[in-house]
Amino acid sequence: MDPAAQDAKDQQLERFRAAPAHNALTTDQGVRVDDTDNALRAGRRGPTLLEDFHNREKITHFDHERIPERVVHARGAGAYGYFEPYQSLSEYTCADFLAEAGRRTPVFVRFSTVQGPRGSADTVRDVRGFATKFYTREGNYDLVGNNMPVFFIQDAIKFPDFVHAVKMEPHNEIPTGASAHDTFWDFCSLQPESTHMLMWLMSDRAIPRSYRTMQGFGVHTFRFVTADGRGTFVKFHWKPKLGVHSLVWDEAQIIAGRDPDFNRRDLWESIEAGEYPEWELGVQLVPEENEFDFDFDLLDATKIIPEEQVPVRPIGRMVLNRNPQNFFAETEQVAFHTANVVPGIDFTNDPLLQGRNFSYLDTQLIRLGGPNFSQLPVNRPVADVHHNHRDGFGQQVIHPGTNYFPNSLGGGCPAHAGSGGGPGVFRHYAERVDGEKIRVRSESFQDHYSQAALFWNSMADWEKRHIVEAFRFELGKVMSVEVRERMVGNLAHVNGGLAALVADGLGLPAPAPDANVPTAASPALSQENLMGEGIR
């Protein structure tokens, strides 16, 4: 490619790309190899000799090719591209990459399923990851989102339990792919805060037609911060230019058998064909003084901010226009982290986000073999990097001089910017914090059903039908009657008709009604016109 046409990230990657494959075969040490098909042996019929260093090196390297897959989101597909804002956002944030209309920032995006292992099928009913790394001039910013705007749990301390329940069952690793099994539904039925997310998961959003037709959400409330330290709450939304399209369940199941790579193939082929996928980035902005204007807590990741209350404002677009050259080096080794923020973007005290800010770096230390994975080509910032971190497995940099601060002996030792900060320097938002050490969240975190009902009520009849049928199918696979009953009991707090239709599909009596919610699902839905395998 013409270097002038390459963005800063692609130019950087160029330095790491291997020489053309037609060169002579060498060992790791650059010694040319005479024969890679026949091991050195003592005589025509004799044993293989240990001194054949090429044979040993070849097999040893192969033996070490695999690394641990991600503990969640193991299966994914990624692509490079760029982001450009429509207008300057400097009224709300000093983030350099949002400061000027049309300023292009290179990105790498990885889409993923959550539950299945690396080799599982694409079109299973599941949440999809939508993680974007912006290689900004002020360092890497990662927006690590999903294709649904809420999450199953409110506090990261529950994440290990949730993931143990959602993954394959420990005794036999069955089932994979779908979320239909006892441990998942047992956990969710006992954690009613998951109900809103379950409504999304049983909807068509959980079987996207294509990554190109999927929305993305930052989920948490984040904070924009201006140069003079003023904060504004912000929720991020990605909207696909092609519109949102899903599969229907029968299609999803057939495709999972016929082409388990359906979504990754579609992404790859559309980029190869020059049909570049595009998303619009939108924000919901809430001034600090309006923090408590809502009947839910902005820190609660099981709640959306309804768009009727705070409209989504489009701020820019992202185009994916380049496939990676090596799946392992790029898509597998990319490391996203919610704590990778740049000046102008900061966190809130959302208890789920706070836990994520610990978890990603921690897991990548083992997944990517030590503390130097930010030096891997796909993870390298295009911004300059200077610090006193030294050594560790896989160190790629030859650091001259001393490596401590403060330091009067020099030798190129970097110094921090000082408490005054300045343009391009990250300073944590000076939020006032005052409280007792407790394990309690604000009261509205206990409202598990209002927004689940909001979601249900916003659905068209055919969408409601799909949700009922999905609950019947998935809960129909649950062996424990107690779990099925408990789950249906939770649904009764969302909509009595929904609960009754699901109960009937499972051969259960309708659960006790909740006087606060409607008892009718929808006039157009009845037992007769519903599908879904229940255990009767």
- For the annotated catalytic residues, the residue numbers are 73, 146
Q: Confirm whether residue 317 is marked as ligand binding.
A: no
364 sits near ligand HEM (criterion: CB under 6 A) = yes
The binder of ligand HEM chosen from 89, 219, 285, 508 (CB under 6 A): 219
Tokens of 170: 């420990």
Give the separation between CA 195 and CA 222, rounded to whole angstroms: 23
Q: Which is nearer to ligand HEM, 78 or 532 (CB)?
A: 78
Check residue 133 for interaction with ligand HEM (CB under 6 A).
no
Binding segment toward ligand HEM, per CB under 6 A, in 8-16, 32-40, 90-98, 348-356: 348-356
Candidates 283, 337, 285, 316; CA nearest to 143 is: 337
216 binding ligand HEM? (CB under 6 A): no
> What are the strands, taking DSSP E only, across 86-169?
105-113, 128-136, 139-146
* Single residue of 97, 134, 141, 151 touching ligand HEM by CB under 6 A: 151
CB of 144 to ligand HEM, least distance (A): 5
User: Which positions ≥6 away from 219 have C-beta within 8 Å?
Assistant: 145, 146, 148, 149, 150, 151, 301, 352
> Which of 9, 54, 75, 110 touches ligand HEM (CB under 6 A)?
110
Lookup: tokens for 278: 């595009």
- Return the range that interacts with ligand HEM (CB under 6 A); candidates 291-299, 362-370, 482-490, 527-535: 362-370
| Token digits of residue 352 | 């789920």
Q: How far is the CB of 148 from ligand HEM (least distance, A)?
A: 8
Q: How far apart are CA 531 and CA 250, in angstroms?
A: 11
Determine, following the binding rule CB under 6 A, whether residue 144 of this chain makes contact with ligand HEM: yes
Listed ranges 17-25, 281-289, 357-365, 371-379: which one lies at the site for ligand HEM (CB under 6 A): 357-365
| Shortest Å distance, C-beta 352 to ligand HEM | 5
Instruction: Show the CA angle centred on residue 431, arms to residues 428 and 437, nearest 5°.
Output: 110
For residues 477 and 180, the answer to whether their CB atoms sit within 8 Å is: yes
Residue 306 Cβ, how far from ligand HEM at the closest point, in Å? 18
**Which is nearest to 445 in space by CA: 294, 317, 315?**
294
Residues 6+ apart with CB under 8 A from 63: none
Q: Total residues at the site for ligand HEM (CB under 6 A)?
A: 28
Residues contacting residue 236 through CB under 8 Å, at least 6 positions apart: 143, 145, 216, 217, 218, 222, 281, 282, 283
- Please report whether residue 355 would count as binding ligand HEM according to CB under 6 A: yes
102: left (phi over 0), alpha (psi -120 to 50) or beta: left
Q: Does 72 contact ligand HEM by CB under 6 A?
A: yes
Contact 160, 185 (CB under 8 A): no
| Contact call for residue 73 and ligand HEM (CB under 6 A) | yes
Contact between 359 and ligand HEM by CB under 6 A: the answer reads: yes
Choose between 90 and 357: whose C-beta lies nearer to ligand HEM. Answer: 357
- 497 part of the interface to ligand HEM, by CB under 6 A: no
What own/partner pairs with CB < 8 Å and gap ≥ 24 does 20-24 have?
none
Task: Specify the residue, 335 or 503, whose C-beta has the smaller distance to ligand HEM.
Answer: 335
User: Is the preceding omega at residue 400 within 30 degrees of 0, hence cis?
Assistant: no
- Under the binding rule (CB under 6 A), the answer on residue 129 touching ligand HEM is yes
Pick out the residues of the known binding site.
70, 110, 159, 356, 360, 367
Pick out the residues of the known binding site for heme.
70, 110, 159, 356, 360, 367
Q: List interacting residues with ligand HEM (CB under 6 A).
A: 70-73, 76, 110, 112, 129, 131, 144-146, 151, 156, 159, 219, 301, 334-336, 352, 355-356, 359-360, 363-364, 367
